[in-house]
Structure 1
Amino acid sequence: MKSAVIGVVAVLVVSLLYILYSPYITPELSNSPGGQDVATADRQADEASASWVTLRMIMPGDQSARMGDFVENELNDRLKKELQIKLELTYIPWSNYQQKLELALSTGEEYDLFWYGAPFVSVYHTKGYIQPLDALLDQYGPDLVRHIPDENFKQNRIDGKLWAIPSQAFTSAGKFSSVMVRQDLLEKVGLSEITSIADLERFYDKAHAIDPSYYGYLETDRGHEMLWRELTDRNYSSLDERMLFMVDEDSGEMLSYVESEVYGKVARLRESWVKKGIIDQNLVGNPAAKIDQENAGKLLFRVGAVSRAMENLQTARSADPNARLREYYLAEGKPKFITTPSNEAFMITAASKHPDRAMMFMNWILQSQANYDFMIYGVEGKDYELEGGKIKQLTPDPLMYEWMWRNKDYFIAPAGVEDDVIRDMLTNDENARISKLFGFHFNEASVKNEMAQVMAVYKEKFEPINFGLASYDAYYEDALKVLKKAGYDIVFAELKKQFSAFKRQREAG
């Protein structure tokens, strides 16, 4: 009996070993056509298919026909092969990007990745819309770390954790404190450069006399820092885009912008510009209409952004083939400050199902010059070609926003941009100073209710003053009283407390 049991067990063991190792001891069968088990092949195909994921990404603007075609075909063909990703882009028009983006984030829609300016990182961190990225960057982002300076990442760290990918690594001093002008039109009316507010007004008067359809404006949601350069002898930097607070770069003190003397100067200047027609009342508060007018070639000047003269050239030349753009700083002798080395931030949502693939995708873009060019410019020979070492677009439809990913290691200047414009941009950071705000994030969690009330009042009472539509002298005092009643002083006190702690920590090393 015992020997019979042993015999049965031996047969079973031999059979099991044969099943397990037969592919290795009979290679001629496994490698021959049709020799592989059909069920195994089907299972492997199912596993490969299951490992593909759809990466859902939100971007601002309007998707061009070629962009949609490029993503659906050439880009996704490569992403599927190399990352097992299918990219699904959702575009939201610039005019209501923030509103619709925040709706998607607040309702927990399962998007994976989105873009916004760096000042919004702390806002979305406080609201719980995004997730920390340290582990993901360590595992999946070696090329991001290789091509983006460490200081760029530091600006997106809050409480010791990384919350956004600083996708741009380029010159950044004085961003949004310059003015971009139609240089060809400036020269057409007998002027050569812009050095003052009076120059801008002369430019408008002369150009408008030739063609009343031309208009000039500085965005009313920006541009205050450009005007500060001339309207005050102090050096100020805005805390963020909400225009409530600013830092004095000389004293290091956090200040209330809306209670400052320079706020009144900016408001009165804009009011005078509305009366002169420099700021068109029909365009105020209507970003889409402003963009339409700019696309039609009617814009004389707008806020600069270090490299906007290069970025907007194709748009300007679509309306006027002779268009040239140039950026200038008022009070040129005043210093420029680096508040954020990269204003562009890609964040992975808290609701993301595929945070690993989102990081892999961002890393893939900077993996090589070929990937970078492909992502931004498309297919060489179809969408672009190299002409004298510069990028020449072959299709009128834009693809990705180049400025979102602009990197010093891979940057190629566009064909047609004058060398002096490129030189201005590449040397912009020379002799710049690091802002007192560099690396600071205001955690609004403890005053989020007050901040919400303050912003509601600000939008209702202060924006018309900012736009130049409501008289500063007539409406400011009442607006300030309502703002303080909403909790402004509580928010300001908390901000100053956090900023003082930040300065002590930085000074301690």
Structure 2
Amino acid sequence: MKRAVIGTVAILFLSLLFALFSHYINPGSSQSPGPLHSDTADNAGKDVPESFVTLKVIMPGDQSSRMGDFVENELNDRLKKDLNMNLELTYIPWSNYQQKLELALSTGEDYDLFWYGAPFVSVYYSKGYIQPLDELLGQYGQDLVKHIPEDNFKQNRIDGKLWAIPSQAFTSAGKFSSVMVRQDLLEKVGMTDIETIADLEQFYQRMHAIDPSYYGYLETDRGHELLWRELTDRNYSSLDERMLFMVDEDSGELLSYVESDLYKKVAHLRESWVNKGIIDMNLVGNPAAKIDQENAGKLLFRVGAVSRAMENLQTARNADPEARLREYYLAKEKPKYITTPSNEAFMITSASKNPERAMMFMNWILQSKENYNFIIYGVEGKDYVLDNGKIKQLTNDQLMYEWMWRNKDYFIAPANVEDDVIEDMLANDENSRISKLSGFHFNEAPVKNEIAQVMAVYKEKFEPINFGIASYDQYYDDALAALKKAGFDIVFAELKKQFSEFQRQH
């Protein structure tokens, strides 16, 4: 009896020592997503949760008929079996996604999960809309960690904590600095490729002479980095989509874009495009109309995104079965920079009632190639078939956006996309460089009032200049004076302070 007691005490003592010591040999997940213990990885996901929940997810776009049917039937049947949950998707049209999403987040509606681009992670962190994910990832995210590189997670860390899942793990250099064109129409007017801004203008002029119903079009809320490649000898990357600040990739200096000579060049160019009809006045500032024109096959070119020629092909062919798309970089001898290894970010809201199940769902998608193909492409034989190792879709209806989850371990090329387009995409990151901005997050909390005032002025006075509908020469000085009065210099000083600290630590 005595011997048994001594043995029991010894076991308890050794267990306590191991528990204490293991903290040092395997730090908690708050430091890094890192690999999980093998026993956790082996067992996680096999035990179906006891309670049934409805997971509420916000997504951009319009839900297709088949997507609605798929969620209600095949997908929710599978999720009930695997995760004891039901998926409830709320789609918000792209044209007002940010506005309506922020309204839902600011009023504390009980959504669990939502998507946005990586630059918005720090914005929603500053506003308190999202929750840290380290413990959830450590407990339920072993397949996310397995199939998404650690560097992708690092970009979503702020103050030592993880705030978003970087769902995409694929090529990303030079994202939003290329131009996507209707290659079939380019060849129709006797051209083969795009190398310069003059080529884009010539493409529009030749096509417009044949059929004036086509629009030139280059997003006025994006695309500035595309033009930078030709308009300056320097290598610049934009801080975020608001187009206020940029970094000089050669010197590492943070600069005010709106006060630069480069901004003036871009504004003058866009103003000339409005005068030439390349930018149509009826489309400026009307996202819904621009989407309608693209869906109708009437846009000759738009900003590229590394893989947009592949992603948008089906939309183009719905309007014109002969459509072909291709992406090009201006000044292609210049380097491409990786600012965010994954531009796609899924965040769990602060108001979520089911954060554990949200992480389980995210992990489930990458748990197997079967799950990945299922949620993105649907039911094999009904929604798609495999054709010589490529995906051939049997319906034109969009299911889950493939680009949000594109993963190097599971990627399958679409059967209808030309091999040279796929080769361009897969080779995109060759000879690329890591941006000076990679991993940097601007904490706007110290200047949140000034930021709000600055952005209000920017939207009122700078966006018309950006669009090319207000003359730079006539309106710029007044716009800049108003921006300064709103607190622009205070925001810039705080930004430079934080960026300098970031540079010292890296």
Q: What's the TM-score, normalizing by structure 2?
A: 0.90
Larger gyration radius, structure 1 or structure 2? 1
1:327 shift after superposition: 0.2
Contact (CA 8 Å) 2:49, 2:83: kept in 1 or not?
Answer: no
AA partner of residue 454 (structure 1): V
Higher mean Cα deviation, 388-397 or 352-361? 388-397
Q: Look up the SS of the partner of 2:100 in the other structure.
A: helix
1:162 shift after superposition: 0.1
* Corresponding residue of 2:147: 147
* Corresponding residue of 1:244: 244
Q: Is 2:484 aligned against 1:498?
A: no
In structure 1, how many angstroms separate the alpha carbons of the residues matched to 2:84 and 2:177?
Answer: 42
* Corresponding residue of 2:35: none
* Corresponding residue of 2:369: 369
* Corresponding residue of 2:272: 272
In structure 1, how many angstroms separate the alpha carbons of the residues matched to 2:183 and 2:50?
Answer: 54
> Runs of at least 4 residues of structure 1 off by over 2 A?
none
In structure 2, how many angstroms separate the alpha carbons of the residues matched to 1:436 and 1:78?
Answer: 43
Write out per-residue CA displacement over residues 218-248 of structure 1, whole angstroms, 9 at most, x where no aligned residue.
Answer: 1111000000000000000000000000000
Q: Look up the SS of the partner of 2:409 in the other structure.
A: coil
Q: Look up the SS of the partner of 1:129 in the other structure.
A: coil
In structure 1, how many angstroms separate the alpha carbons of the residues matched to 2:54 and 2:449?
Answer: 36
In structure 2, how many angstroms separate the alpha carbons of the residues matched to 1:317 and 1:108?
Answer: 41
Contact (CA 8 Å) 2:71, 2:87: kept in 1 or not?
Answer: yes
Write out per-residue CA displacement over residues 441-489 of structure 1, whole angstroms, 9 at most, x where no aligned residue.
Answer: 0000000000000000000000000000000000000000000000000
Q: Is 2:322 aligned against 1:327?
A: no
* Corresponding residue of 1:51: 51
AA partner of residue 168 (structure 1): Q
In structure 1, how many angstroms separate the alpha carbons of the residues matched to 2:151 and 2:375?
Answer: 25
Q: Look up the SS of the partner of 1:246 in the other structure.
A: strand
In structure 1, how many angstroms separate the alpha carbons of the residues matched to 2:443 and 2:101?
Answer: 21
* Corresponding residue of 1:118: 118
AA partner of residue 111 (structure 2): Y
Q: How does 1:397-476 map to 2 (within 5 A)?
A: 397-476=397-476
* Corresponding residue of 1:296: 296
In structure 2, how many angstroms separate the alpha carbons of the residues matched to 1:133 and 1:500?
Answer: 27
Q: Look up the SS of the partner of 2:367 in the other structure.
A: coil
Q: Is 2:366 aligned against 1:349?
A: no
1:396 shift after superposition: 1.5
* Corresponding residue of 2:214: 214
**Aligned pair in 2 of structure 1 residues 485, 75: CA closer, same or farther (>3 Å)?**
same
How many residues in Structure 1 have an aligned counterpart in Structure 2? 459
AA partner of residue 372 (structure 1): Y
AA partner of residue 495 (structure 2): L
* Corresponding residue of 1:91: 91
Write out per-residue CA displacement over residues 84-143 of structure 1, whole angstroms, 9 at most, x where no aligned residue.
Answer: 110000000000000000000000000000000000000000000000000000000000
* Corresponding residue of 1:317: 317
* Corresponding residue of 1:484: 484
In structure 1, how many angstroms separate the alpha carbons of the residues matched to 2:65 and 2:128?
Answer: 35
AA partner of residue 176 (structure 2): F
In structure 1, how many angstroms separate the alpha carbons of the residues matched to 2:260 and 2:401?
Answer: 36
AA partner of residue 336 (structure 1): K
Higher mean Cα deviation, 303-312 or 390-399? 390-399
AA partner of residue 401 (structure 1): Y
AA partner of residue 413 (structure 1): A
Q: How does 1:380-399 map to 2 (within 5 A)?
A: 380-399=380-399
Contact (CA 8 Å) 2:95, 2:288: kept in 1 or not?
Answer: yes
1:50 shift after superposition: 7.1
In structure 1, how many angstroms separate the alpha carbons of the residues matched to 2:98 and 2:432?
Answer: 31
* Corresponding residue of 1:17: none
1:49 shift after superposition: 10
In structure 2, how many angstroms separate the alpha carbons of the residues matched to 1:460 and 1:233?
Answer: 31
In structure 2, how many angstroms separate the alpha carbons of the residues matched to 1:311 and 1:397?
Answer: 13
In structure 2, how many angstroms separate the alpha carbons of the residues matched to 1:67 and 1:289?
Answer: 24
In structure 1, how many angstroms separate the alpha carbons of the residues matched to 2:445 and 2:196?
Answer: 41
**Aligned pair in 2 of structure 1 residues 166, 350: CA closer, same or farther (>3 Å)?**
same
Q: Look up the SS of the partner of 1:116 in the other structure.
A: strand
1:416 shift after superposition: 1.2
Q: Is 2:74 aligned against 1:74?
A: yes
In structure 2, how many angstroms separate the alpha carbons of the residues matched to 1:469 and 1:403?
Answer: 33
Q: Look up the SS of the partner of 1:51 in the other structure.
A: coil
AA partner of residue 433 (structure 2): R
Q: Look up the SS of the partner of 1:166 in the other structure.
A: coil
* Corresponding residue of 1:235: 235
Contact (CA 8 Å) 2:50, 2:84: kept in 1 or not?
Answer: no
* Corresponding residue of 1:281: 281
1:217 shift after superposition: 1.1
Contact (CA 8 Å) 2:313, 2:417: kept in 1 or not?
Answer: yes
In structure 2, how many angstroms separate the alpha carbons of the residues matched to 1:246 and 1:85?
Answer: 44
Q: Look up the SS of the partner of 1:255 in the other structure.
A: strand
Write out per-residue CA displacement over residues 40-96 of structure 1, whole angstroms, 9 at most, x where no aligned residue.
Answer: xxxxxxxx9971000000000000110000000000000011001100000000000
In structure 2, how many angstroms separate the alpha carbons of the residues matched to 1:477 and 1:251?
Answer: 28
* Corresponding residue of 1:336: 336
In structure 2, how many angstroms separate the alpha carbons of the residues matched to 1:203 and 1:348?
Answer: 44
* Corresponding residue of 2:8: none
Q: Look up the SS of the partner of 1:90 in the other structure.
A: strand
In structure 2, how many angstroms separate the alpha carbons of the residues matched to 1:149 and 1:71?
Answer: 29
* Corresponding residue of 2:6: none
In structure 2, how many angstroms separate the alpha carbons of the residues matched to 1:313 and 1:174?
Answer: 20
In structure 1, how many angstroms separate the alpha carbons of the residues matched to 2:291 and 2:339?
Answer: 27
Q: Look up the SS of the partner of 1:481 in the other structure.
A: helix
Gaps of 5+ in 1: 1-47
In structure 2, how many angstroms separate the alpha carbons of the residues matched to 1:92 and 1:72?
Answer: 18
Q: Look up the SS of the partner of 1:326 in the other structure.
A: strand
In structure 1, how many angstroms separate the alpha carbons of the residues matched to 2:394 and 2:294?
Answer: 22
Write out per-residue CA displacement over residues 161-193 of structure 1, whole angstroms, 9 at most, x where no aligned residue.
Answer: 000000000000000000000000000000000
In structure 2, how many angstroms separate the alpha carbons of the residues matched to 1:156 and 1:137?
Answer: 13
* Corresponding residue of 1:3: none
* Corresponding residue of 2:61: 61
1:341 shift after superposition: 0.3
Q: Look up the SS of the partner of 1:242 in the other structure.
A: coil
1:374 shift after superposition: 0.1
Q: Look up the SS of the partner of 2:184 in the other structure.
A: helix
In structure 1, how many angstroms separate the alpha carbons of the residues matched to 2:185 and 2:475?
Answer: 37
Write out per-residue CA displacement over residues 292-329 of structure 1, whole angstroms, 9 at most, x where no aligned residue.
Answer: 11111111000000000000000001111111000000
Q: What's the TM-score, normalizing by structure 1?
A: 0.90
Q: Look up the SS of the partner of 1:170 in the other structure.
A: coil
Q: Look up the SS of the partner of 1:392 in the other structure.
A: strand
